[in-house]
Amino acid sequence: MNDAKGTEIAREAESESLAERGKHIAKNMAEVFDISGQIWQKFLAAQLQEGTPRPDPLNTWPTFAELYRTMWDNPKQVADATIELWAAQQKLWQNSMLKWLGSKEAVEELDVPYMMKADKRFAHKEWSENALFDYLKQSYLLTSGWIQDTVSNVGEMDPKERRKAAFYTRQFVEAMNPANFFALNPEVLEATVEQKGENLVRGLKMMLADLDRGKGKLLIRQTDMNAFEVGRNTAVTPGEVVFQNDLIQLIQYAPATEKVLARPLLIVPPWINKYYILDLNPKKSMVKWLVEQGHTVFVISWVNPDHRHGAKSWEDYMFEGGLTAIDKALEETGQKSLHLVSYCVGGTMAGTLMAWLGRQNDKRVASTTFFTAQLDFQDAGELQIFVDEHILEVVGEDMEKGYMPADRMASAFNMLRANDLIWGYMVSNYMLGKDPFPFDLLYWNADSTAMPARAHRFYLEQFYIRDAFAKGTLSVRGTPITLSDIKGPVYHVATKEDHIAPAASVYRGAKEMSKAKVRFVLSGSGHIAGVVNPPVLEKYQFWTNPDMSPATLEEWLEGAEETPGSWWIDWDAWLKERSGKLVPARVPGATLGAIEAAPGSYVRVRFDQPEPAKA
């Protein structure tokens, strides 16, 4: 074959290849447009069904009005900061032009203290190697850092209003990240070219499915929702439901030792999330580990409320929930007292119950353990930003059916880490068309619960807004209670990086238990990982200091001893000192009877399913 003929054949093959590629791209783009139309139809239908939205549902305008007033009152500070930004942007532009022109000269790095650090969303090589995308990245990091620094430091503002302004400013700058936009993200552009647009088809199909799952609201999947199932590969520690009422199922777990400690242990988890965070899988399960240490373990599984539970009050959660579970666990084991263990809002409720029992001189609880539980809400972290009198009105409208829909609380928690839990998945799922990685913790995180209207409003109003428990203005069944009414031994765990129950806030509440003997422990990591930290993982560390006289957590830490690994072993030793002798292992339901196998049916009710899943 001569060279001319070979060249002609190669050109024809290339032409055919380009034609086929063009057809493939055109087909995918047509499908993209079709699915986009379906998405818009579902979204708009959901908005029409919702009715006219509030113009400012989170009540941000008064906060930003105060911020703007503060900026007008401090023109020199704002002008100086603006000039500094312009100078930094000019240097950045010069650096970028040198890089664009291929200059080999060393480029002077920007030295700006407020410039944000590049996170994992800028990991693709084009963000650093390509002059255009590198400029987009650097300009964004510089400008967004400047915005947040200015909002946080200009003039004088009420600290709570300042925190609120900073929080919502952070939401804005994270949304404006160039990685969130198709045309500005080199990884998305590269994938679209390589895959002929198939990534967009997959991503939009996923978005359509997530809209269906959220009934018209975008419910971003953070993991493979089909990879896990409660009772199959999560929440699998064997046990029986031994009691149930309108609010709870009480689970008793099967023993793993021939002898068990006499005094049983009852766990009160938060009802904002499901209890199986403490029983995710055999390697991470606190429940399984406690059973293996010789404890008889009971856990409350809260109902996922609907319109039937709208009138349930905070006191109902205390007495129909917590106290009833205590009585039934004692009846089942024949003991006179037990250890009460509580987590997050379950701990807030347990604190009010223990204060009420303290006022009654009731001895049914031998010791109380709190995991990341706030009792003093003077400075209750970023969630407090969402709560004011205006928000109570919005919450009231949301809960006209008798409960706050589960997606409302899930959205609030996701906003606390929007880069990781919202925007990262928007790009990965819907633009890159990648299936989320199977992760049991994120499956649990997506398994949200609704909030009963009356109890949730009480929680927001009396704790987050009025701080009534710490201030001594809270009453239960007509009896005023305070933190100083909590008696007996207390094991109190805070986590160092907690954004939901800040460690300093938890410590302040622990100090106010003046009649209790408190062992305060500070764990490494955050609200979940700092609690769900089995010893076998050998992760993190914890700090202990028997002296509770320091006024602040920082001062307490100065005299604290650091221990590597999990605090579970320290807690287990503390419990065993107060658990009595060994007795024969207990068969779940021997006295009360067994209703159904753990994890029970209440935990299987999902807000994105119309009916409870079958056991």
What is the C-alpha separation between 129 and 99, in angstroms, rounded?
Answer: 9
Cβ neighbourhood burial of 190 (10 Å; 0-12, 13-18, 19+): middle
Per the model's pLDDT, the better-predicted residue between 268 and 406 turns out to be 268
pLDDT score of 615 more than 50: no
pLDDT digits (tens, 9 = 90+) for 73-82: 999 999 999 9
d(CA 422, CA 436): 13
The yes-or-no verdict on residue 414 having pLDDT over 90 is no
Q: In b/e form, how buried is each residue of 417-456, taking b as 16+ CB within 10 angstroms?
A: ebbebbbbbbbbbbbbbbebeeebbbbbbbbbbbbbbbbb
Q: Is 50 exposed, middle or buried (0-12, 13-18, 19+ CB in 10 A)?
A: exposed
Given a contact cutoff of 8 angstroms between Cβ atoms, the answer to whether 237 and 245 are in contact is: no
Domains in the chain with CATH codes: 61-194 (no CATH), 239-405+450-604 (3.40.50.1820)
Q: Count helices and strands (H / E) in the chain.
A: 22, 17
Long-range CB contacts for residues 383-387, cutoff 8 Å, separation at least 24? 383/412, 383/416, 383/464, 383/500, 384/160, 384/464, 385/163, 385/164, 385/167, 385/168, 386/58, 386/412, 387/460, 387/464, 387/465
Instruction: Return the closest-CA partner of residue 342 out of 367, 373, 308.
Output: 373
pLDDT level of residue 420 (50, 70, 90 thresholds): confident
- Nearest CA to 482 among 507, 459, 523, 516? 516
Pairing of strands 488-495, 516-523: parallel
Select the more confidently predicted residue: 592 or 97: 592
- Per the document, the length of the chain is 615
Average pLDDT estimate for 23-30:
85
Residue 4 binned pLDDT confidence (cut-offs 50, 70, 90): low
Q: What is the pLDDT of residue 32?
A: 86
CA distances from 394 to 31, 72, 387, 402, 468 (A): 39, 31, 10, 14, 22
Residue 100's contacts (CB-CB under 8 Å, 6 or more residues apart) are 131, 132
Q: Are 63 and 165 in contact (CB under 8 A)?
A: yes
CB 508 within 8 A of CB 520: no
Is the pLDDT at 575 greater than 60? The verdict is: yes
pTM value is 0.89
Structure tokens given for 295? 């404890």
pLDDT tens digits for range 529-544: 999 999 999 999 999 9
Cβ density class 403-413: b for 16+ within 10 Å, e for less: bbbbbbbbbbb
Enclosing H/E stretch for 475: strand 474-476
| The pair of three-digit structure tokens given for residue 16, joined into one six-digit string | 């055919």
- The gap between the terminal CA atoms of the chain, to the nearest Å, is 72
Q: What is the pLDDT of residue 136?
A: 94
Q: Under DSSP, is residue 590 helix (H, G, I), strand (E, B) or coil? A: coil
Instruction: List, for residues 470-515, the tens digit of each pLDDT value.
Output: 999 999 999 999 999 999 999 999 999 998 999 999 999 999 999 9
Residue 164 Cα distances to 60, 63, 75, 142, 384, angstroms = 8, 7, 22, 22, 9
Query: What pLDDT is attached to residue 613?
Result: 40
pLDDT of 25: 83
Query: pLDDT tens, 323-367?
Result: 999 999 999 999 999 999 999 999 999 999 999 999 999 999 999
| Mean pLDDT on 160-168 | 91
Range with the poorest average pLDDT among 27-31, 191-195, 318-322, 375-379 = 27-31
Q: For residue 462, give both structure tokens.
A: 């009396």
What tokens appear for 347 in the block? 């701990």
Contact in structure between 249 and 600 (CB atoms under 8 Å): yes
- Catalytic position from the list 236, 291, 344, 510: 344
410-436 average pLDDT score: 89
d(CA 296, CA 437): 35
Looking at 241-309, list the stretches that DSSP marks H as alpha helix, in order from N- to C-terminal side: 286-292
- In whole angstroms, what is the distance from residue 20 CA to residue 533 CA? 54
Residues of the chain by 3-state class (helix, strand, coil), percent to 5: 50, 15, 35
427 is known as an active-site residue: no
What pLDDT, in 10s, does the model give residues 65-111? 999 999 999 999 999 999 999 999 998 998 888 888 877 665 567 77
pLDDT(611) > 60 = no
